[in-house]
Chain A
Amino acid sequence: MNTILETRDLCKYYGTGENQVKAVCHTSISIEKGEFAAIVGKSGSGKSTLLHLLGGLDTPTSGEVRIGNQPIFSLKEDALAAFRRRKIGFVFQSFNLISSINVWENIVLPIGLDNKKADTSFIREIIGILELNDKINSMPNTLSGGQQQRVAIARALAAKPDIILADEPTGNLDSKTSMEVINLLKVSVKKYGQTLAMITHDEELAQMADRILVIEDGIVTEDGKAVS
Chain B
Amino acid sequence: MGLGSRISTKKFLLFTGFLIILSTLVLDLIFLSNLKSSYDDTKKIISKIAGSTDSNENPIKWLKEAPEEDWLLQGEAYLAFYGYDGQTKTVWDEKYLASRNKIILFSSVFDALLLLLLFFLYQFIKEKDTQRVLEIEKALRQLQTVDFSPLDVSSPDLEPVLTDRILSLQEQIQTDHTKLQKEKESTKAFVTDISHQLKTPVAALKTNLELLSEEDLTKLQQTEFLSRCTSQLKGLENLTKALVNISRMEQDMIQLHIQPARIGETILAAVSRVYEKASEKQISIEMPPDSFPERILIPHDKKWTVEVLVNILDNAIKYSAEYTHITITAEPLVSYLKIDIEDEGIGIPKSEYHNIFKRFYRGNSVRELEGSGVGLYLAREIMEKQNGSIFVRSGHGKKGSIFSIQFPNA
Contacts A187-B408, A203-B350, A204-B350; is A179 near B175 (CB within 8 Å)?
A: no
A202→B108 CA distance, assembly (Å): 86
Give residues of chain A (141-182) contacting chain B, Cβ–Cβ below 8 Å. 146, 175-177, 179-180, 182
- The reply to whether B174 and A2 form a contact with Cβ atoms under 8 Å apart is yes
A207-228 vs B, Cβ < 8 Å mask (1 yes, 0 no): 1110010000000000110000
Name 23 interchain pairs, CB-CB below 8 A, sorted by A. A1-B181, A2-B174, A2-B175, A33-B175, A69-B150, A146-B334, A177-B334, A179-B338, A179-B391, A179-B404, A180-B335, A180-B336, A183-B388, A183-B389, A187-B387, A187-B408, A204-B392, A207-B354, A207-B391, A208-B389, A208-B391, A223-B354, A223-B355
Interchain CB contact (< 8 A) of A180 among B178, B333, B350, B351: B333
Which chain A residues lie closer than 8 Å to B331 at the CB level? 176
Chain B residue with the shortest CB-CB distance to A32 = B178
A2→B353 CA distance, assembly (Å): 27
Which chain A residues lie closer than 8 Å to B372 at the CB level? none
A175→B181 CA distance, assembly (Å): 37
Which chain B residues lie closer than 8 Å to A224 at the CB level? 351
- The reply to whether A204 and B182 form a contact with Cβ atoms under 8 Å apart is no
- The reply to whether B406 and A183 form a contact with Cβ atoms under 8 Å apart is yes
A181-199 vs B, Cβ < 8 Å mask (1 yes, 0 no): 0111011000001000000
B357 within 8 A of A: yes
Contacts A2-B175, A184-B335; is A179 near B406 (CB within 8 Å)?
A: yes
- The reply to whether A180 and B392 form a contact with Cβ atoms under 8 Å apart is no
Which chain B residues lie closer than 8 Å to A176 at the CB level? 331, 333, 338
Which chain A residues lie closer than 8 Å to B392 at the CB level? 204, 207
Chain B residue with the shortest CB-CB distance to A205 = B391
B359 within 8 A of A: no
B376-396 vs A, Cβ < 8 Å mask (1 yes, 0 no): 000000000001110111000
Q: How far is the CB of B254 from chain A (nearest CB, A)?
A: 18
Q: How far is the CB of B376 from chain A (nearest CB, A)?
A: 11
Which chain B residues lie closer than 8 Å to A2 at the CB level? 174-175, 178
Interchain CB contact (< 8 A) of B391 among A131, A146, A204, A212: A204
Which chain A residues lie closer than 8 Å to B334 at the CB level? 131, 146, 177, 180
Top 7 A-B pairs, shortest CB-CB distance: A207-B353, A2-B178, A207-B354, A183-B389, A180-B333, A203-B350, A131-B335
Chain A residue with the shortest CB-CB distance to B149 = A69
Q: How far is the CB of A55 from chain B (nearest CB, A)?
A: 23
Chain A residue with the shortest CB-CB distance to B336 = A180
A39 within 8 A of B: no
Which chain A residues lie closer than 8 Å to B174 at the CB level? 2
Which chain B residues lie closer than 8 Å to A131 at the CB level? 334-335
- The reply to whether B393 and A204 form a contact with Cβ atoms under 8 Å apart is yes
- The reply to whether A212 and B335 form a contact with Cβ atoms under 8 Å apart is no
Among A69, A187, A207, the one with the most B-chain Cβ atoms within 10 Å of its Cβ is A207
Contacts A206-B354, A207-B353; is A1 near B182 (CB within 8 Å)?
A: yes
A180→B333 CA distance, assembly (Å): 8
A69→B354 CA distance, assembly (Å): 30
Give residues of chain A (39-53) contacting chain B, Cβ–Cβ below 8 Å. none
A176→B388 CA distance, assembly (Å): 14
- The reply to whether B353 and A204 form a contact with Cβ atoms under 8 Å apart is yes
B152-182 vs A, Cβ < 8 Å mask (1 yes, 0 no): 0000000000000000000000110010011
Chain A residue with the shortest CB-CB distance to B394 = A204
Which chain B residues lie closer than 8 Å to A209 at the CB level? 354
Chain B residue with the shortest CB-CB distance to A204 = B393
A122→B350 CA distance, assembly (Å): 38
A203→B335 CA distance, assembly (Å): 23
Which chain A residues lie closer than 8 Å to B336 at the CB level? 180, 183
List 16 extra interface pairs beyond A1-B181, A203-B354, CB under 8 A. Answer: A33-B178, A130-B335, A131-B334, A175-B393, A176-B338, A177-B334, A180-B333, A180-B336, A180-B338, A182-B389, A186-B389, A203-B351, A204-B392, A206-B354, A207-B392, A208-B389
Which chain B residues lie closer than 8 Å to A223 at the CB level? 354-355
A1→B331 CA distance, assembly (Å): 41
Among A183, A187, A204, the one with the most B-chain Cβ atoms within 10 Å of its Cβ is A183
A130→B334 CA distance, assembly (Å): 9
A12-30 vs B, Cβ < 8 Å mask (1 yes, 0 no): 0000000000000000000
Which chain A residues lie closer than 8 Å to B150 at the CB level? 69
A127→B3 CA distance, assembly (Å): 38
- The reply to whether A1 and B350 form a contact with Cβ atoms under 8 Å apart is no
A207→B380 CA distance, assembly (Å): 11
Which chain B residues lie closer than 8 Å to A182 at the CB level? 389
A38-76 vs B, Cβ < 8 Å mask (1 yes, 0 no): 000000000000000000000000000000010000000
